[in-house]
Structure 1
Amino acid sequence: MTLYQVAKNLVWYALKPLYRMEVIGVENIPKDGPVIICSNHISNFDPPVVGGSAPRVVHFLAKEELFKGKFGKFLFSKLNAVPIKRGMKDRQALRQALNILKEGKVLGLFPEGTRSKTGELGEGLSGIGFFALRSEATVVPCVIVGPYKVGRRLKIVYGEPVKMDKLREEKASAKETTEQIMQEISKLQKKHA
């Protein structure tokens, strides 16, 4: 058993009863092939919650600061995280993320790029559209409906895949594609609020 699997089980079984988690729509995540899971971002717990509830191993882009020091570098690398420099184009991280998708794996992204303090959905970054257009990945919207409060119900909802064929055929921009993905996340959020 890998460190990722051990951590996934430990975190999931600790958090699930604590926050009375309900997971909806995991059948919308394809069993194989490249997948991008795009979720809203309301807490530092979001990556382990998405990673723990998804039926496949999820690779996340994570801020470079988490990889500082030997322990951080070892831990987050073993947890399948890819370091990315915030606020600038990080070509190496982009290449790594695209390679994850080329290998038929799952990439987890938080399109807003940072946590929402209010729970309201913010604007998505164009990089999400870039990954969706530059790969053959199935894009699965996800919403976490909180709050993270002990004893309160927390929902993790995976929606139906975003229809990417038309966007790819029409050579939509990364920004337009991101907007479409964000609309799907917003619909899920309104439906399950």
Structure 2
Amino acid sequence: MMLYRIGRLICRIVLSLVFFAKIKGREHIPAEGPVIICSNHKSNLDPPLLGSYIKRPLRFMAKEEMFSSKWSEALFTRLGAFPVKRGGSDRGALRKGISVLGNGEMMLLFPEGNRSKTGEMKEEGLAGAGFFALKSDAVVIPAYIRGTYKPFRRVGLRYGPPVPLEDLRNEKASAREVTEQIMSHIRMLRDETEGPKER
């Protein structure tokens, strides 16, 4: 936890001084209990941005190549990451994610999967976000990152109100349907922040 707090402080300083990070909506994040933060994905700097300005530790998946040595495994584990295999279903990572939420922790997910090469949100998300929402009682908080990580140009982050999922859970909706509901709330944050995109 000490390394996490130190890393969070360093990231906050860099993001504030170099990228003029502006954060809105932190009041929507529950102070306790399982939470899933779901955001659009532009850069490898997204996890530090999403986690540096909130009090609770944020767990997240990272590609397994980042855990290739004992040193890197120890470092990224202490920073809140756990490995996931890309290109298919990783049952070990799924079980770990469910365990994180079962312990009442916070977890970060990017429903789009990989980073957007254009900076624009993808039309569809992957089923993983819906899977974790259905397999837990977690509160799902949408988030939207605006801008690019260019030095001395502002990056904005906005957290939104919890995604209403009770009806979908009661109706036993599919993971993909739940992901689409989550994506729609991220798009609403985008439209409120930048204005509706032409379709």
Normalised by the length of structure 2, the TM-score is 0.94
What corresponds to 2:88 in structure 1?
A: 88
Aligned residues of 1:34 and 1:102 also touching (Cα < 8 A): yes
Counterpart-to-counterpart distance in 2, 1:53 and 1:187: 22
> CA offset at residue 165 of structure 1?
0.4
Counterpart-to-counterpart distance in 1, 2:142 and 2:55: 15
> CA offset at residue 133 of structure 1?
0.6
> CA offset at residue 112 of structure 1?
1.0
What corresponds to 1:3 in structure 2?
A: 3
What corresponds to 2:143 in structure 1?
A: 142
What corresponds to 1:159 in structure 2?
A: 160
Instruction: State the one-letter code of the partner of 2:48.
Output: P
Asked whether 1:173 is paired with 2:174, we answer yes
Give unmatched runs, 5+ long, in structure 1.
none
Counterpart-to-counterpart distance in 1, 2:187 and 2:58: 22
Identity %: 49
SS at 1:189 equivalent: helix
What corresponds to 1:192 in structure 2?
A: 193
After superposition, where does 1:100-119 map in structure 2 within 5 Å? 100-119=100-119
> CA offset at residue 54 of structure 1?
2.4
What corresponds to 1:131 in structure 2?
A: 132
SS at 1:135 equivalent: coil
Instruction: State the one-letter code of the partner of 1:130.
Output: F
Counterpart-to-counterpart distance in 1, 2:85 and 2:54: 26
Counterpart-to-counterpart distance in 2, 1:72 and 1:110: 22
SS at 2:183 equivalent: helix
What corresponds to 1:16 in structure 2?
A: 16
Aligned residues of 1:26 and 1:55 also touching (Cα < 8 A): no
Give unmatched runs, 5+ long, in structure 2.
195-199
Would you say how many aligned residue pairs link Structure 1 and Structure 2? Answer: 193
What's the Cα RMSD here?
0.9
Runs of 4+ residues deviating >6 angstroms: none
What corresponds to 2:51 in structure 1?
A: 51
SS at 1:62 equivalent: strand
SS at 2:9 equivalent: helix
Normalised by the length of structure 1, the TM-score is 0.97
